[in-house]
Amino acid sequence: MKPDLKLFILETCPYCKQVFKWMDELIAENPIYATIKVDMINEKLNPDICNAHDYYYVPTYFLDGEKVHEGACSKEKVKEIFDKYLAQ
């Protein structure tokens, strides 16, 4: 069974836009990352789901219910999260 990867975002957040750029770049560099299913949850459109998770800043990644990153994110961190996903 594949792990559950959630990414909480806001469309107006500059850090979220940067994470999208990192994800696109990583997929272009390594097509195996294209197999990763990321459930992107817009904080504004899904307040009930967001309230059920413990975080304060976007972007925030949860892997199988565990918070693995919160806030501004580097390309290396996104790669680390993707690699952790693939290792499960």
Find all residues with CB under 8 Å of 36, minimum gap 6, and list them.
5, 82, 85, 86
Provide CATH code, domain 5-87: 3.40.30.10
- pLDDT over 90 at 2, yes or no: no
- pLDDT over 90 at 34, yes or no: yes
| Residues 80, 1: Cα–Cα separation, whole Å | 20
Find all residues with CB under 8 Å of 61, minimum gap 6, and list them.
5, 6, 7, 8, 67, 68, 69, 70, 73, 81
The answer to whether the beta carbons of residues 85 and 36 sit under 8 Å apart is yes
- pLDDT over 90 at 1, yes or no: no
* pTM as predicted: 0.93
Domain segments of the chain as ranges: 5-87
pLDDT tens column, 39-83: 999 999 999 999 999 999 999 999 999 999 999 999 999 999 999
Of 66, 71, 73, 69, nearest in space to 88 by CA: 66
